[in-house]
Amino acid sequence: MTLTQNLLAMAALLAALAILLVVLKAAENRGRLHPESLRKGVHVGMGLVVLPLPWIFDRAWPVVVLAVIACGAMVATRSVRTMRGGIGTVLGGVGRDSLGEIYFPIAVTVLFVLGRGDWLLYVVPILMLTLADAVAALVGVRYGLFQYQTSEGKKSLEGSLAFFLVAFFSAHLPLLLLTDTGRAEAVLIAAILALLVMMLEFISWRGLDNLLIPLGAHAFLRLYQNSDTRLLLAHLLAAALLVVFTLAWRRRSRLDDSALVGGALFGFAAATLGHWLWFLGPFLFFLAMSLVWPRSNEDRPHTVYDILSTTAAGMCWLFAYSVTGKEWLLVPFTGSFAAQLTLYGVARIGHRPDRGSPSRRLLGDIGLGWLVVQCPILLIAFAGGIVVEGGGWGVPGLLIDVGLGLLAVGLAGVIFYLLVPRIYGPPMREGAIKPTVAALGAVASLVAGLRWLV
């Protein structure tokens, strides 16, 4: 396309978006639509306008410019008084603190850049974001009776099921009708995408679903696009089993529902990007946390933010393994979760300082993380020859790793124990807890993997 054609196409798209906002504002003034319906009307309209972008533009710069203009306009509707009271009410009428309208054009731009050369990798995520998210919100508002607790309030089972169905067909129909994908593969890919993206939507907060849904759908579709039926079926069963386990375990856990789903998503990533031993570390951490310190009341204080701080170091090592394929990365990965189990126990000392000698409890927590998570996984890896460097570990290497694991867990536990009085107060400094936990988990993982890193 020439420069003039690009500019004309950009002007037409901006005009279409402006007309959409004006029409919805007129509908709002007449009082005919619920605020959530207005917001999702913008959502669907924007999605349909940007859906044909791969066939309109043959280069990225017009899309980037449009995204900058759109983000600037959305910021103006929040900050300029006249716009906030005018067009801004179409977006902000639901009264939630959300940046979703800003994440939307960012997601579209990233998808356009990543999906160039393969329209499917752009269209399917946009359809899921445009249709599934909107339908889920409207069904939840109108019919939501069975509700789950998330970090920002409640979401409904009905809304999640509606999201799954619409997301499934958003992927299945393009795959089946417009590509050479087989029938069985199309069904399985669509089911996996719908289930995983539904889980991403469930754990999102402050409008992040407008970013996580399309980018997650793009990543999963790219991962499974050319997979065989056996692998697809195995991964679908793994995802379904994790969801079932999460639902069955929710009454025993101190994690709220969004945190449980976030943990299940991380477990699925560990099992699929790594292998079963990569899944074992987070699973043992989660299981021990629930069994050693069971929930004694209806309080479920831990949210998806706690999952992010707990798994932050592990995510980095898992990503490194997915890129490099180095099996020894399992060692620091496991060390991070051994340390997190210890840190959780030490935090309980701050919550309940009256239950026994603090020093004995500290030693017990250090031993728990080391014996329950670190030692079993290292022994299994050694016995199975999974971690191989230069022909094998050897017993001395195993002993060094086990010793470094104990040092890592002990170091993290002692440092956190010394920080507990400052963090848990009084007054309790909530903002310091999660960054401290994430940082100590990272430090412990580095110490645990010291033999391989130096």
For residue range 32-61, list pLDDT tens digits in order.
Answer: 666 666 777 777 888 888 999 999 998 889
Q: Is residue 390 very low, low, confident or very high in pLDDT (cuts 50, 70, 90)?
A: very low
Asked whether the predicted pLDDT for residue 391 surpasses 50, the reply is no
What mean pLDDT is predicted for residues 94-104?
70
Q: Report the chain's mean pLDDT, rounded to a whole number.
A: 84
Average of per-residue pLDDT across 88-99: 58
Q: What percent of the chain has pLDDT over 70?
A: 88
129-138, 246-255, 260-269: least confident range:
246-255
State mean pLDDT over 358-385: 90
What does the pLDDT read at residue 88? 58
Give bridge partners of residue 148 from the DSSP assignment.
155
- Lowest mean pLDDT, pick from 13-22, 35-44, 328-337: 35-44
Could you tell me the pLDDT band of residue 4, with boundaries at 50, 70 and 90? confident
148-163 pLDDT per residue, tens: 766 666 777 888 889 9
Quote the CA–CA distance of 345 and 439 in Å, as a whole number: 17
- pLDDT score, position 118: 84
